[in-house]
Amino acid sequence: MVTADSLVNCPITIEDDRTGLSVETLRRALTDHLYYIQGKLPEHASRNDFYLALAFVVRDRLMPRWLYSKKNYLVPETRIVSYLSAEFLLGPHLENNLINLGIQDEVRQAVQESNLDYSALVDQEEEPGLGNGGLGRLAACYMDSLSSLEIPAIGYGIRYEFGIFDQDIRDGWQVEMTDKWLQFGNPWEIARPSFAVTVKLGGHTEPYVDNQGQYKVRWVPAQIVKGIPYDTPITGYKVNTVNTLRLWKSEAPESFDFQVFNVGDYYGAVDQKIVSENISKVLYPNDEQVQGKELRLMQQFFFVSCALQDMIRVHLTSGRRLNTFHEKFAVQLNDTHPAIGVAELMRLLIDEHDMAWDNAWNVTSRSFAFTNHTLLPEALEKWSVDLFGRILPRHLEIIYEINRRFLDQVRVKFMGDEGHLERLSLIDESGSRSVRMANLACVGSYSINGVAALHTELVKSTILKDFYELSPEKFNNKTNGVTPRRWLVQANPRLSNLISSKIGDSWIKHLHELQGLEQYADDSAFRHEWRQIKLSIKRDLAEHIQRRTGITVNPESMFDVLVKRIHEYKRQHLKVLHIITLYNRIKANPNADITPRTFIFGGKAAPGYTMAKLIIKFITSVGDVVNNDPDVRDRLKVVFLPDYNVTFGQRVYPAAELSEQISTAGKEASGTGNMKFSMNGALTIGTLDGANIEIREEVGAENFFLFGLKTPEVQELKANGYNPWDYYDSNDTLKAVLDLVAHGHFSHGDPQLFRPLLDNLLHHDPFLVLADYQAYIDCQDQVSAAYRDQDNWTRMSILNAARTGKFSSDRSISEYCEDIWKVKPLPVTVPEYDQSQAALKV
């Protein structure tokens, strides 16, 4: 019986609207944010208003974790990982944060009880397009894992106002459209103008002698830009750690010049604002060759200078001296884009903080670690000395001095060997002189790593061979990984739930526990469940394809998927030659027994990369013919899904059954799409390239379709004088395929449309498409035969997923922490919310 006394002795607990997790509290918080933040009544609110209100509800609930994680940064003994990357391809935040906070079910129920469509609100979020592809997405996965492993970390990059372009396909051609990801607001970021820094550009230097008689250099800039930090929380999975991604926006120190305005120059009065803001205006696509060189150098220096100044502020605020900077921060250079940091940290220490050169170099060379992401020599960044000196005159002087001291060491090591001096020099003296950013990164870093076992060995034996001979102890491998929270739990909830029903859910944090699935690979009931889930996901994708492209595809057909950045070395055109080969078989025998396939392509070509854009046109043109030829009778369908991004990947990876990883051996550094496909149960057809090698080792050679020349064979073939025409002339099947293209069958009778593509293949073929053609076709025939045995295919699919534990970004980050950064987890303690202590006390 309830009495008045019992009520007095049992105080009622009332949840706070900012932190409470009951459905009732979440609904009330959603309403409050709609009223007081969006300023809308429900009947007048748009879907975006409801999305923003929900996002703020979720942000409230991660805020205590974020604040106390930041508090740890200022503890003097805390060692912080600082991840410098020109790109962070994050993907949508809302659902990822719900999963990591462990509140997805409660929030979904609260939204539904508020008569709102949860899926529609999730889909409303505009994806930040702050990266081109693998490099930026890797950085995002690593930030997720750093938080999930409770490692104090800050990511530094650029807050591009316009991200990687949105892609549309018109008449089969790629059309680029502006990515206005900020147009409706970004609820996940918080501006921190009080932490703004200034960045110098251009001008000249002036030597002088200070009061102590020391030689000094003063940089007199032509332009000063202000960097404004915007912080985004990066949640860890079911831990209190919420790390910070700090992105920098460029602004003019003064937005409006009244003196210029007063003399009648109305446009000149705002010119400085426009020039300054251009620096963080737009993300450049990866494969642009010449355009925007000057602006890109300014972008790279801008965010690196902002980051290093910010790190120095944090270090000094924590009460430590600058000669221990390298003990506080482990600074990872994500490829060569942030390599200017080596010279900038030297400048800051010497010019701004009066540190002697030797002391400054000791700190600098013990602060940086360098990740190389390429095997293509042309992808190693170089800047002309003239351009570099015009934008960064002081840094050019510092680089010359670093180089002078470094080459003195090289002379001792390789006495009399001028070749080593030429190759190791930070300045390329051949032709027009240029600054080699990879060389700067190697000289100024204590660790140099590749991103797959083969890649690292090739780095040591090819593009950085001389540095390996000089300092072999610096080199190590860290095979890439991807976060299972994004790429399995969020992207594929149906499969994730099935897995958890059998082996529990701790695999989400410890991906090697997926091995527990192997015991079910021979369980017919489990295989049936697995197959039905895959079919339901394929049906969802088929509906999306119909809505997006108007193409009807058969969910019962094999979903054969090739989605990645469009580039000749990734060989999307080899895939198209396979499609035409199957098409020719059907035309020769309309009753041919062909395993039905839906070929799904996706990827963006850099606007200035003509051949890549022609490859997209080639894909869509072949699709137009194949999809509409009555002889094919829906046995083959070709789809190019536009606008490849993280959201796209979350939809496509779970539906794929065959993952195409067909780059020329020795060209792909690692690949991470190959990992995402395999993790979701797709089987791989691929070359021995990048991380394909390690995937094959893990899943078993019998569960991987291997074809093509190996790296030594590629090198030998090229060394002996590769002639692609020989392959064309000696292979009737290949000849028939290329002749059909040449005669205009896929271009409305126009023989010229694909002439550049054909000429390149027949007379140059730098990536050995024709050399690998027949091996690829033969391997694809094995794939078709294997797919007919659906029960065994499903068994192989289960084993692929079960054996991908190595490819978690958690494993990658653990190796970085132990071998390179020397950091350990630091759990974050968040005090319980207590209303009686809630009042502000200063």
Which residues are designated catalytic? 373, 564-565, 570, 672, 676
Angle at the Cα of 142 (from 141 to 144), degrees rounded to 5? 65
Give me the torsion for CA of 231, 234, 238, 241, rounded to 10°.
Answer: -60
What does the alpha-carbon distance between residue 663 and residue 117 come to, in Å, rounded to a whole number?
A: 42
Please count the other Cβ atoms lying within 10 Å of the Cβ belonging to residue 367: 23
φ, ψ for residue 231 (rounded to 5)?
A: -100, 135
Q: Where are the alpha helices (DSSP H) in 550-655?
A: 572-588, 610-628, 646-652
Single out the residue of 551, 541, 543 nearest to residue 626, CA to CA: 551
Give me the torsion for CA of 719, 724, 725, 730, rounded to 10°.
Answer: 100
Angle at the Cα of 204 (from 199 to 209), degrees rounded to 5? 100
What does the alpha-carbon distance between residue 490 and residue 672 come to, in Å, rounded to a whole number?
A: 17
Amino acid identity for residue 569 in this structure: Y
Would you give the DSSP letter of residue 158? E
Cβ burial of 66 (10 Å; 0-12, 13-18, 19+) is buried
Please, how many CA atoms are within 13 Å of residue 573, restricted to the half-sphere of its CB? 27
What does the alpha-carbon distance between residue 150 and residue 695 come to, in Å, rounded to a whole number?
A: 27
The answer to whether 102 and 238 are in contact (CB under 8 A) is yes
β-pair partners for 230: 191, 247
Q: Three-class SS of residue 762?
A: helix
What does the alpha-carbon distance between residue 509 and residue 143 come to, in Å, rounded to a whole number?
A: 15
Single out the residue of 649, 485, 554, 555 nearest to residue 143, CA to CA: 485
The answer to whether 574 and 662 are in contact (CB under 8 A) is yes
State both tokens at 105.
């079910």
Q: Three-class SS of residue 632?
A: coil
What does the alpha-carbon distance between residue 550 and residue 457 come to, in Å, rounded to a whole number?
A: 46
What does the alpha-carbon distance between residue 516 and residue 367 come to, in Å, rounded to a whole number?
A: 41
What does the alpha-carbon distance between residue 136 and residue 128 come to, in Å, rounded to a whole number?
A: 11
Please count the other Cβ atoms lying within 10 Å of the Cβ belonging to residue 556: 12
Number of H helices, E strands in the chain: 34, 23
Q: Three-class SS of residue 599?
A: strand
What does the alpha-carbon distance between residue 690 and residue 659 come to, in Å, rounded to a whole number?
A: 15
The answer to whether 64 and 144 are in contact (CB under 8 A) is no
Please, how many CA atoms are within 13 Å of residue 389, restricted to the half-sphere of its CB? 9
